[in-house]
Amino acid sequence: MSIPRSKKTSKQTKVGAARKGSPIRHSSKFKRGDKVRITNIAKYLKDPNYDLKDEGYRQMRTAELFRFCIGREFTVGDLDKYGHVEIDASANRAVRKEFGKYHTIWSEPEYLEHVGAGEERPQQGKARTKK
């Protein structure tokens, strides 16, 4: 006896309404390479004692890093499926001097101000023109 198979293709089965609790890709006004300024941070990160609550936080100085980045400009590194923006904070000289290398932070878009567009990349198959 054979098992009946669905006539839908695999592509068709993936399309549809999202289930409750499933991740949904949010559109963002930011793109990779855009320049942004951090204008605000989450309320809990504003607490000066936040980093003292746990030894791991104390070593990473997470809240202190976020507070230090307010008002500074950065380049958007990536976007996640929830709309959060990845920022390589250590690309900023002042941040690198204060906190060292390799600090990446993720921020909600409502805490960022768009400062400038990133460099446009040539579309696939089209040559770049010199000006």
Q: In the chain, how many domains are there? A: 1
| pLDDT mean across residues, the chain | 79
What's the confidence (pLDDT) of residue 57? 76
Report yes or no on 15 lying in a domain. Answer: no
What's the confidence (pLDDT) of residue 93? 93
Instruction: Please write the tens of the pLDDT for every residue from 23-81.
Output: 444 556 889 999 999 999 999 999 988 888 888 778 888 899 999 999 999 999 999 98
**Is 80 exceeded by the pLDDT of residue 126?**
no
Report yes or no on 38 lying in a domain. Answer: yes
What's the confidence (pLDDT) of residue 89? 92
Report yes or no on 90 lying in a domain. Answer: yes
Report yes or no on 65 lying in a domain. Answer: yes
More confident residue, 45 or 120: 45
Q: What CA–CA distances, in Å, run from 22 to 9, 27, 81?
A: 22, 16, 11
Domain extent for 100:
25-116
Place of tokens 């904070």: 89
Report yes or no on 125 lying in a domain. Answer: no
Q: What CA–CA distances, in Å, run from 61 to 45, 58, 78, 108?
A: 11, 5, 23, 19
Backbone region of residue 83 per phi and psi (left: phi > 0; alpha: psi in -120 to 50; beta: other values): left
What's the token pair of residue 94?
A: 């002042």
What's the token pair of residue 27?
A: 């559109």
Q: Residue 64's domain is classified under what CATH number?
A: 2.30.30
Contacting residues for 106 by C-beta, under 8 A, at least 6 apart: 80, 84, 85, 86, 87
What's the confidence (pLDDT) of residue 3? 63
